[in-house]
């Protein structure tokens, strides 16, 4: 069998939820499990996050799967309704849609649900992606509250720079100022905001990334935040090459040996979800010690420098990220984020659970 495997720790995920829960204080916690729980599997996420107050997903299909698995906590649809035809499913599955567009209010008015729904009314405070204009809040809140199909309203926004030095104040202050008067519950915090800005907690927090043991901040490691990596991507060396000085390795021969050296070929490539943009020098663990990749990542293989690993050979374990090597470090070397690497774990990689 091809030796690549992703090991996923339910314990680590449950631990990370406890970290989020402690930071949330009195706020309730939605475990954000979109994108197949950031690559970790929806069913694993349900078990690991059984203690969450709710789950947040993108699609009806994910929500229906969670209900089928026995989830009885609230389920938030983060992008709301993709059509008026989804209102009936919200009733049937008891889902809470985000309303981020005036059309959603029209749909609810024209096709009132058989039972009134809890809704999250999302305002745009500067992200300029999804959300209703904050300037029109008075009319929008009044209209939403007057709809017979609406049982309760929670106000919501999303931060564009909670992970950066500029922070959240430029969005949070207008949000609170404009909406405080209604006395409605509210929700704003993603992982970065929850970790760094306690004033964003409100009534519901929405951590995603941190639950999987990665850091939203370039300059702070997940370990420093008290988080444990949930996914470890592992493989083995399946061939060893002896290069002479001047010889190159892989497509484009991007890496050339300056002197005679040994190169290990690892069974992991971009078709497994490893980033093709990872250049020579991206960190890997060879037999538990830090090493580096060489040359261009190909579809099914990548190469590692065995210069410091004279004992390494066929079958030597290689960790691509996870336990002992933060996914954030690999993401940084590849010019991307841990979000992208975790979500991109390919379906062909076998997954095993571990403690
Ligand atoms: C994905 C998402 C989150 C979670 O964000 P993280 O940065 O992963 O914590 C929170 N809120 C919304 C609206 C989202 O789409």
Distance 167 CA to ligand 1 centre (A): 16
Q: Is residue 74 domain-shared with residue 200, that is, in the same domain?
A: yes
173 confidence band (pLDDT: 50, 70, 90): very high
Q: What is the pLDDT of residues 5-27, one digit of tens each?
A: 999 999 999 999 999 999 999 99
Q: Is residue 300 domain-shared with residue 343, that is, in the same domain?
A: yes
Please give the pLDDT value at position 116: 97
Distance 99 CA to ligand 1 centre (A): 16
Q: Is residue 196 domain-shared with residue 237, that is, in the same domain?
A: no
The C-alpha atoms of residue 31 and residue 57 are separated, in whole angstroms, by 9
Distance 38 CA to ligand 1 centre (A): 11
**Selected catalytic residue, list 122, 212, 251, 339:** 251
Please give the pLDDT value at position 45: 98
Q: Is residue 250 domain-shared with residue 119, that is, in the same domain?
A: no
256 confidence band (pLDDT: 50, 70, 90): very high
Residue 119 · residue 187 · CB < 8 Å: no
104 within a domain of the structure (yes/no): yes
- For helices 102-110 and 137-146, give the axis angle rounded to 10 degrees: 20
200 confidence band (pLDDT: 50, 70, 90): very high
Q: Is residue 101 domain-shared with residue 206, that is, in the same domain?
A: yes
Ligand 1, closest atom to CA 78?
Answer: 13
- Whole domain around residue 71: which residue ranges? 10-214
264 within a domain of the structure (yes/no): yes
100 within a domain of the structure (yes/no): yes
The best mutation among 78, 159, 214 to test binding of ligand 1, ranked by most ligand atoms within 8 Å of the C-beta, falls on 78
- What mean pLDDT is predicted for residues 110-126? 96
**Selected catalytic residue, list 34, 122, 212, 274:** 34
Q: Is residue 152 domain-shared with residue 238, that is, in the same domain?
A: no
155 within a domain of the structure (yes/no): yes
CATH value at residue 109: 3.20.20.10
Please give the pLDDT value at position 355: 77
Domain's final residue, options 153, 185, 214 = 214
Q: What total of structural domains would you count in the chain?
A: 2
Report residue 239 CA to chain centroid gap: 34
**Is a pLDDT exceeding 80 seen at residue 233?**
yes
- What mean pLDDT is predicted for residues 113-131? 96
1 within a domain of the structure (yes/no): no
Q: Is residue 244 domain-shared with residue 101, that is, in the same domain?
A: no
Q: Is residue 169 domain-shared with residue 241, that is, in the same domain?
A: no
Q: What is the pLDDT of residues 298-339, one digit of tens each?
A: 999 999 999 999 999 999 999 999 999 999 999 999 999 999
The best mutation among 20, 130, 190 to test binding of ligand 1, ranked by most ligand atoms within 8 Å of the C-beta, falls on 190
Q: Is residue 243 domain-shared with residue 115, that is, in the same domain?
A: no
Domain's final residue, options 154, 189, 214 = 214
Q: Is residue 150 domain-shared with residue 179, that is, in the same domain?
A: yes
Q: Is 206 in the pocket of ligand 1 (CB under 6 A)?
A: yes
CATH value at residue 308: 2.40.37.10
Which residues are paired to 186 by β-bridges? 155
Q: Is residue 73 domain-shared with residue 201, that is, in the same domain?
A: yes
Q: What is the pLDDT of residues 151-165, one digit of tens each?
A: 999 999 999 999 999
- What mean pLDDT is predicted for residues 32-42? 98
Share of the chain above pLDDT 90, in %: 99
- What mean pLDDT is predicted for residues 179-183? 93
Ligand 1, closest atom to CA 207?
Answer: 9
Residues 6+ apart with CB under 8 A from 114: 88, 91
4 within a domain of the structure (yes/no): no
268 within a domain of the structure (yes/no): yes
Can you give the three-state secondary structure of the chain, one letter per residue? CCCCEEEEEHHHHHHHHHHHHHHHCCCEEEEECHHHHHCCCHHHHHHHCCCCCEEEECCHHHHHHHHHCCCCCCEEECCCCCCHHHHHHHHHHCEEEEECCHHHHHHHHHCCCCCCEEEEEEEECCCCCCCEEHHHHHHHHHHHHHCCCEEEEEEECCCCCCCCCCCCHHHHHHHHHHHHHHCCCEECCCHHHHHHCHHHCCCEECCCHHHHCCCCCCCCCCCCCCCCCCEEEEEEEEEEEEECCCCEECHHHCEECCCCEEEEEECCCHHHCCCCCCCCCCEEEECCEEEEEECCCCCCCEEEECCCCCCCCCCCEEEEEECCECHHHHHHHCCCCHHHHHHCCCCCCCEEEEC
Ligand 1, closest atom to CA 162?
Answer: 7
Ligand 1, closest atom to CA 34?
Answer: 1
Ligand 1, closest atom to CA 122?
Answer: 13
**In this structure, how many other beta carbons lie within 10 angstroms of the beta carbon of residue 267?**
17
The C-alpha atoms of residue 188 and residue 93 are separated, in whole angstroms, by 24
Average pLDDT, the chain: 97
34 catalytic per annotation: yes
Q: Is residue 172 domain-shared with residue 279, that is, in the same domain?
A: no
5 within a domain of the structure (yes/no): no
Q: Is 187 in the pocket of ligand 1 (CB under 6 A)?
A: no
Distance 169 CA to ligand 1 centre (A): 18
Domain's final residue, options 154, 182, 214 = 214
Q: What is the pLDDT of residues 61-108, one digit of tens each?
A: 999 999 999 999 999 999 999 999 999 999 999 999 999 999 999 999
The best mutation among 27, 35, 39, 56 to test binding of ligand 1, ranked by most ligand atoms within 8 Å of the C-beta, falls on 56
């Amino acid at each position: 069998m091809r030796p690549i495997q992703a090991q996923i720790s339910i314990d680590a995920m449950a631990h990370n939820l406890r970290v989020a829960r402690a930071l949330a204080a009195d706020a309730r916690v939605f475990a954000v499990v979109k994108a197949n729980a950031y690559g970790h599997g929806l069913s694993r996420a349900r078990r690991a996050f059984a203690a969450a107050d709710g789950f947040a997903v993108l699609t009806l299909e994910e929500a229906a799967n969670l209900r089928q698995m026995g989830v009885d906590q609230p389920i938030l649809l983060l992008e709301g309704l993709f059509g008026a035809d989804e209102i009936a499913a919200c009733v049937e599955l008891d889902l809470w849609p985000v309303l981020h567009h005036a059309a959603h209010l029209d749909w609810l008015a024209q096709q009132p649900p058989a039972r009134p729904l809890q809704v999250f009314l999302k305002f745009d405070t500067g992200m300029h992606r999804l959300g209703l204009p904050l300037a029109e809040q008075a009319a929008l809140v009044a209209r939403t509250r007057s709809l017979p199909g609406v049982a309760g309203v929670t106000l919501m926004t999303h931060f564009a720079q909670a992970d950066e030095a500029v922070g959240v104040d430029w969005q949070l202050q207008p949000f609170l100022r404009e909406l405080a008067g209604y006395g409605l519950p509210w929700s704003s915090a993603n992982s970065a905001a929850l970790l760094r800005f306690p004033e964003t907690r409100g009534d519901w927090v929405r951590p995603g990334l941190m639950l999987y043991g990665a850091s939203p901040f370039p300059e702070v490691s997940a370990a420093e935040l008290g988080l444990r990596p949930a996914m470890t991507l592992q493989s083995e060396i399946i061939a060893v090459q002896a290069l002479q000085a001047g010889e190159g390795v892989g497509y484009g021969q991007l890496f050339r040996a300056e002197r005679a050296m040994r190169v290990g070929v690892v069974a992991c490539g971009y078709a497994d979800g490893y980033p093709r943009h990872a250049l020579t020098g991206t960190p890997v663990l060879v037999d538990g010690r830090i090493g580096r990749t060489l040359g261009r990542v190909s579809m099914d293989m990548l190469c590692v420098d065995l210069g410091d690993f004279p004992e390494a050979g066929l079958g030597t374990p290689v960790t691509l990220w996870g336990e002992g090597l933060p996914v954030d470090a690999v993401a940084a070397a590849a010019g991307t984020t841990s979000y992208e690497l975790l979500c991109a774990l390919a379906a062909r990689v076998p997954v095993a659970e571990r403690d």
